[in-house]
Structure 1
Amino acid sequence: MKLSRYVLASVISTSMISGAALAQSAASQGFSYGVGVGVNQEIYQGYSNRTIPLPIIGYQGDRLTVYGPFVSYKLLDLGNISFSAKLAPRFAGFDESDSAVFSGMAKRKDSIDGGIGMQLRQDNWKFTTQTVFDLLGNSNGQESKVSVGYSYRAGPVIIEPAFGVSYSDSKLVDYYYGVRPDEATAQRPAYKASGAVNYNAGVSVTTALFFGGMTRLGVEHHWYGSSISDSPLTDRDTGLSAFLSWSRLF
């Protein structure tokens, strides 16, 4: 089901993935494997919490980082500032059968996003920004993200609180949360969505204490913009997500 994969994408944010890869590669580079589980509060009507098991296959090299379906390639490294090309799936579509609220609606397809990101590290602070575009032309939209995080060590544990802001343009939001005129019903009025500013705040904890690998726990709270929360397809404007993973180098 498309919504199952939507949860995967929202639980495993880019910051979680890059943090896990960096933690794993702190001592060395190479291939990694592991398992994880994600839990997310859905904002579409007809869904509450969903739990999904996640296999993890990754690679960390000098320039290339792969963590599951997320790929980053470092284009330029200037010490504490780096620029990278990004490639990631956007699992945000739905089928008519996924929920009663989608009855009679056309399928919204998932896609692949590509773009450019920048990362600045200063002492224990990390500032990241990226802009990605729909490469398959399903929504023809784009999304920009900015986040700031701080990491500190407490014995064998690394704690990383972070805060982020993202902007999804009107094409992206309307594709996934809009209702076309020919899809409107008495219970589901036509709705054309505008761009949305979304916020998230969370904390992750990473440790190498268990089973010779890296264990990572992350929790995030999400606040969705009004053009998403006002959609007749949604019934929430906030939600929590959590992710627990364990990975180990080959």
Structure 2
Amino acid sequence: MKYLALCWSLALLSSAVFADGDRGDVRERIEPKGFLYGLGLGINQEIYSGYDYRVIPLPIIGYRGDNFRVLGPFVSYDALEFSDIELTVQIAPRFQGFDESDSFIFENMQERKFSMDAGLGLSYQKKDWKIGLSSMFDVLGRSNGYEAKANISRVFRKGPLFFEPSLSVSYLDSNHVDYYYGVKANETNEFTSQYLGKSALNTTISLSLATPIFLGGFTRIVVDYTWYDSVITNSPLVEDEANMSARFLFSKFF
């Protein structure tokens, strides 16, 4: 189940845009309304020891309306809009986790399960700049965790090519970090020791490239690079301080 996260997340990424000339309405031009379908493919570098790259194909079906959007288990509704500010209600799955079969490092450990998050998002968009804030809670009680995220991006256009560099900072509370990166006293093995996770702050830079010129659909490639807080990288389950992911999406409207 956790392998689906990459492609679901890909489908929800903000559109890549390259501002050149008439600014402010570029996002609208490449985010039409209606039912869509497509295929996602993701390659992700895991930071857990012995947990290497994953390649995940996934068919995608969804809908984008004026205020309501659905893409598989991801749902968002623009509940309030004032000038350039929007308040959004969001529901999203969290396909994090592992079981013993994923790596030697998880031997003797209980499975860490996927969950569902729900919360609010606040965004401000002016011309081709966009600032977003979100607050999401684990509503299934897996980790009982919480994540707050801040993001800033700038969209650009060059002919039929659209680019969006972005920077985001994500705060994860101690419940979340301990569930996915902590080790209980009765879970240790010859490679690990007991570890109690605390709150963490991760940083991600992204670059998105998109174009509508192929096969009458919309093609998007996104590359992310994330630096993890030392609270996470000090876990005996983790061997890398950062990771990179690349994601591909092709979608068309019915």
TM-score, normalised on structure 2? 0.91
Q: Which amino acid aligns with 1:41?
A: Q
Instruction: After superposing the two structures, state which structure 1 stretch, 210-219 or 46-55, moved more.
Output: 46-55
1:157 to partner: Cα distance = 1.2
Quick one: distance in 1 between partners of 2:11 and 2:192? 30
Quick one: distance in 1 between partners of 2:37 and 2:204? 28
Residue 39 of structure 2: aligned partner: 35
SS at match of 1:173: helix
1:79 to partner: Cα distance = 2.9
| 2:150 aligned with 1:146 | yes
Asked if structure 1 preserves the Cα contact closer than 8 Å seen for 2:108 and 2:189, the reply is no
1:114 to partner: Cα distance = 0.2
Asked if structure 1 preserves the Cα contact closer than 8 Å seen for 2:15 and 2:30, the reply is no
Asked if structure 1 preserves the Cα contact closer than 8 Å seen for 2:7 and 2:41, the reply is no
Residue 249 of structure 2: aligned partner: 245
Asked if structure 2 preserves the Cα contact closer than 8 Å seen for 1:35 and 1:55, the reply is yes
Asked if structure 2 preserves the Cα contact closer than 8 Å seen for 1:213 and 1:249, the reply is yes
Residue 109 of structure 2: aligned partner: 105
SS at match of 2:15: helix
Instruction: After superposing the two structures, state which structure 1 stretch, 37-46 or 178-187, moved more.
Output: 178-187
1:77 to partner: Cα distance = 1.3
Equivalent position to 2:140, from 136, 153, 171? 136
1:19 to partner: Cα distance = 2.5
Equivalenced residues, count? 245
| 2:54 aligned with 1:50 | yes
Quick one: distance in 1 between partners of 2:168 and 2:11? 11
1:6 to partner: Cα distance = 5.0
Q: Which amino acid aligns with 2:175?
A: K
Quick one: distance in 1 between partners of 2:139 and 2:195? 25
Quick one: distance in 1 between partners of 2:110 and 2:43? 27
Quick one: distance in 1 between partners of 2:195 and 2:102? 20
SS at match of 1:84: strand
Asked if structure 1 preserves the Cα contact closer than 8 Å seen for 2:7 and 2:57, the reply is no
1:70 to partner: Cα distance = 1.7
Q: Judging changes above 3 Å, is the alpha-carbon distance between structure 1 residues 27 and 101 closer, same or farther for their aligned structure 2 residues? A: closer
1:95 to partner: Cα distance = 1.3
Aligned-pair identity in percent equals: 43
Residue 12 of structure 1: aligned partner: 10
Once the two structures are superposed, the pairs formed by residues 1-250 of structure 1 within 5 Å of their partners are 2-8=1-7, 12=10, 16=13, 18-19=14-15, 26=30, 28-250=32-254
Quick one: distance in 1 between partners of 2:203 and 2:99? 27
Instruction: After superposing the two structures, state which structure 1 stretch, 194-203 or 67-76, moved more.
Output: 67-76
Aligned CA RMSD, in angstroms, stands at: 1.8
Q: Which amino acid aligns with 1:221?
A: Y
Asked if structure 1 preserves the Cα contact closer than 8 Å seen for 2:115 and 2:139, the reply is yes
Quick one: distance in 2 between partners of 1:178 and 1:64? 37
What 5-or-longer segments of structure 2 have no aligned partner?
17-25
1:25 to partner: Cα distance = 6.8
What 5-or-longer segments of structure 1 have no aligned partner?
none
TM-score, normalised on structure 1? 0.92
